[in-house]
Amino acid sequence: MKVDNTKAQMRKGILEYCILMLLSKKEAYPSEIIQELKAAKLIVVEGTIYPLLTRLKNGDLLAYNWVESTSGPPRKYYYLTEKGQEFLKDLKTTWEELSFAIQTISKL
Amino acid sequence: MNKTVSVNIGGFAFIVEENAYHILQSYLTKVKSKFSADEAEIMVDIEARIAELLKEKIEGSKEVIDEDDINEVIDIMGQPEDYQDDDLENTSTNQDDAEYVEAESIKRKLFRDTDNSVIGGVCSGLAKYFDVDVSLIRFLFIFFVLFLGSGILLYIILLLVIPEAKTTADKVQMRGEQVNIDSIKAHFKNIGEDINKNLKEKNVNKKVSSAVNGFTRAVITIVEAFSRIIGVALVIAGIVGLFFVVLYFMGYNDIIPFTSFIKADGFYDFLLVIYSSDLLAKIALVNFITVLIIPLFTFIYSGTKMVFDIKSSTYKPLKITLGILFGISVSLLTIVSIRAGVNFSNYGENYEKIGMSEDMGNVLYIEVVDIDPTLFKANEQPFGPQYMDIQSDRFALKDVNIRLKEGIDSTNFSVNLIEYSRGINERIAMENAMNVEYHVELRGDTLIVPSYIIVMNKNKFRGQGLDIDINIPSGKIVHFGERTHKLMSIHRNYYSGYGHTDRIKNTDWVNTPDGIECINCD
């Protein structure tokens, strides 16, 4: 059993949660999302995010609008679908439970 | 000098050095291999992003993309492995990871849910605790607010007593464990495992210790249950008490048994006729309320804490403030009560002889009237007789006593009124007695007596009362009429006992050589 594997798993779930949370606050295009996630030190490389966004979109959690950009090609502005909002709510609860679990266990 | 290629990346044309182009191409190929055919969209997005990054590189005088630029972009975007979007399928087959530990059931606790609050999150917290819809709880509170505003006080108490859910741990506990099939299954699974373990480990010590643990747990559970029951009782007592206090001070005297003894529009009206000044009455009123409300408040407060097992210590300034307030109120009440009590220290009376005609028959009839029909209206209510009725400018006291005496004059009845009162000194007490308004009327052979005396409010209540002394000549008779039970008391003679007024109506009393005797009593 590799520690990297566990780390990646932990990170992956949280990354999903963070992206949904971010998009629940405002619509954003990938670069913006990346900026925020980088600022939060959650991702190191940008590549991680694209497959994830697409998967979330295919899962109907996200949708996007094309918006013309002044400096380049039109951008995909992602937003949370209704299903995505429900999903986020669930994740939030789970996160609170996990966080509680960690707090409790680490206090032992 | 390097050869360059013109390429289209994400819809933009770039001039790229040849070796840089090769690197980029092999990179994109590797990345692409990570995705299935139906995920072509991802590649489009990635290329668009790469184009964006490259455009930043050629800003300014630079026109050609070189190897370094490409490597930088790859660093930013990550190695092909980083694109791996491992789905759960890859891991869940792993035996090590499949071992999920069931979350221990979380004990539900009461918190204020400030995330979903209108005021302080009291309602939403309660809703979470009881797992009901928050609008139901809010509706109940609004209902209580409409009911004389008691909901407001209740809300304030709960706001003070229930801690806010601040940390995530609080929020989880606030919701508690969701009861569903899975959690129930998990629960039984755990129990089953425990039993198995116990069977396998045939260790006596462990069994004993687990039995002891079980016993301790049982005791704790019982203690907790008791504390909850007491808590519920305290809360109910507190709330009911509050209702009654509020209602009583608003003038609904008859809600509390025996308080209908004194009838007034409000408690304050009663205090006004007791205390010598408005100020004292006001002080008394405020402090009566405080002295009653603070314990009720404490009941609800500590009751709530017991019911919901809230461990947080009471906010200290609140405790101190309430304690000091209560102390001050008790002291002030004592002071004003002493001030009022002094006014009752001396006794005085006023004597009045009723003129009787010479040509009366052998029987003196006595009948009782109510002069003012607005007084003592509530006299027939279940909670005892009414003694005092306070109106806007005067009050009435049902303190009229008839005393039958052996007449010294052998031929004529004689009737004397003795108005009495108390006061700060004898002179004032006598003045108070003289201020008692009472008029008897003689109609033929019938003496008409009102059932109560009247005193103006400005003259205050000083324990005023009235005795009617009837001296019966020997051989003559006094007849008590149909309504004489409305009197306070009837003394057979000054020293011996008196009969109950209910039994005395429609009876005849005669002066015999042995004293005053009833001819036709039961």
The pLDDT averaged over each successive group of 10 residues in chain B (522 residues) is 84 87 87 76 84 82 86 86 58 37 54 81 84 83 74 81 73 60 54 55 57 74 80 86 79 61 78 89 90 88 82 75 90 90 92 82 86 66 65 86 80 89 93 92 89 90 91 87 74 48 76 82 70
pLDDT tens-digit profile of A18-28?
999 999 988 99
- Chain A positions touching B52 (Cβ under 8 A) are 31, 72
Instruction: Give residue B209's pLDDT.
Output: 64
Long-range contacts of A26-34 (CB under 8 A, 24+ apart): A27/A65, A27/A77, A27/A78, A27/A79, A28/A77, A28/A78, A29/A67, A29/A75, A29/A76, A29/A77, A29/A78, A30/A75, A30/A76, A30/A78, A30/B45, A30/B49, A31/A75, A31/B49, A31/B52, A33/A78
- The model's pTM: 0.50
Residue B76 and residue A103: Cβ atoms within 8 Å? no
- Answer whether B82 touches A (CB < 8 Å): yes
Residue B112 corresponds to which tokens in the numbers above?
């204020």
Instruction: Give residue B254's pLDDT.
Output: 61
Residue B83 and residue A51: Cβ atoms within 8 Å? yes
Return the biggest CA–CA distance within chain B: 157
- Chain B positions touching A44 (Cβ under 8 A) are 78
User: Which candidate, B405, B383, B360, places its Cα nearest to that of B515?
Assistant: B405
Measured CA to CA, the distance from residue B193 to residue B231 in angstroms comes to: 36
Q: How many CB atoms lie within 10 A of CB B378?
A: 13
The strand order across the sheet containing B414-423 reads B346-354, B414-423, B465-472, B400-406, B489-491, B498-499
Pairing of strands B446-450, B465-472: unpaired
The arithmetic mean of pLDDT across residues A62-84, rounded, is 85
Measured CA to CA, the distance from residue B195 to residue B189 in angstroms comes to: 10
- Chain A positions touching B77 (Cβ under 8 A) are 45-47
E-assigned strands of B335-445? 346-354, 363-369, 388-390, 394-397, 400-406, 414-423, 441-443
Residue B79 corresponds to which tokens in the numbers above?
């190695």
Q: How far is A9 from chain B (nearest CA, A)?
A: 9
Measured CA to CA, the distance from residue B104 to residue B98 in angstroms comes to: 18
Secondary structure string (H, E, C) spanning B350-371: EEEEECCCCCCCCEEEEEEECC
Residue A46 and residue B77: Cβ atoms within 8 Å? yes
- Alpha carbon B266 to its chain centroid, in Å, reads 21
AA identity, residue B113: D
Q: Say if residue A43's pLDDT is above 60.
A: yes
Residue partners of A62: CB distance under 8 A and separation at least 6: A20, A23, A53, A56, A78, A79, A80, A81, A84
Q: Are the beta carbons of B137 and B145 closer than 8 angstroms?
A: no
Instruction: Give residue A88's pLDDT.
Output: 92
Residue B175 and residue A51: Cβ atoms within 8 Å? no
Rounded to a whole number of angstroms, the distance between the first and last alpha carbons of chain B is 141
- Answer whether B58 touches A (CB < 8 Å): no
- Taking CA atoms, what residue in A is nearest to B32? A51
The four Cα atoms A70, A74, A78, A79 give a dihedral, to 10 degrees, of 70
Q: How far is A49 from chain B (nearest CA, A)?
A: 8
User: Which candidate, B462, B465, B508, places its Cα nearest to that of B488?
Assistant: B465
Pairing of strands B507-512, B477-480: antiparallel
User: Which candidate, B320, B484, B289, B306, places its Cα nearest to that of B402?
Assistant: B484
Q: Are the beta carbons of B429 and B459 closer than 8 angstroms?
A: no
Number of helical (H) and strand (E) elements in chain A, helices listed first: 4, 2
Reported ipTM? 0.82
DSSP track, A31-65: HHHHHHHHHTT--SSGGGHHHHHHHHHHTTSEEEE
Instruction: Give residue A20's pLDDT.
Output: 92
Instruction: Give residue B147's pLDDT.
Output: 67
Q: Using alpha carbons, list the distances in angstroms from residue B518 to B367, B486, B496.
A: 17, 19, 14
Instruction: Give residue B425's pLDDT.
Output: 93
Q: Are the beta carbons of A24 and A56 closer than 8 angstroms?
A: no
* Residue recorded with tokens 């405020």: B286
Residue B45 and residue A8: Cβ atoms within 8 Å? no
Residue partners of B16: CB distance under 8 A and separation at least 6: B4, B5, B6, B7, B24, B64, B65, B66, B70
- Answer whether B55 touches A (CB < 8 Å): yes
Q: Are the beta carbons of B173 and A97 closer than 8 angstroms?
A: no
Instruction: Give residue B85's pLDDT.
Output: 59
DSSP track, B242-306: HHHHHHHHTT-GGGSTTGGGEE-SSHHHHHHHHSSSHHHHHHHHHHHHHHHHHHHHHHHHHHHHH
- Taking CA atoms, what residue in B is nearest to A47? B77
Measured CA to CA, the distance from residue B26 to residue B33 in angstroms comes to: 11
Q: How far is A85 from chain B (nearest CA, A)?
A: 17
Instruction: Tally the residues of chain B.
Output: 522
Q: How many CB atoms lie within 10 A of CB B477?
A: 15
Residue B423 has φ and ψ, to the nearest 5°, of -165, 175
Instruction: Give residue B191's pLDDT.
Output: 54
Instruction: Give residue B522's pLDDT.
Output: 66
100-139 of B, contacting A, C-beta below 8 A: 103, 106
Higher pLDDT, B189 or A98: A98
A52, A93, A100 ranked by CB distance to B85: nearest = A52
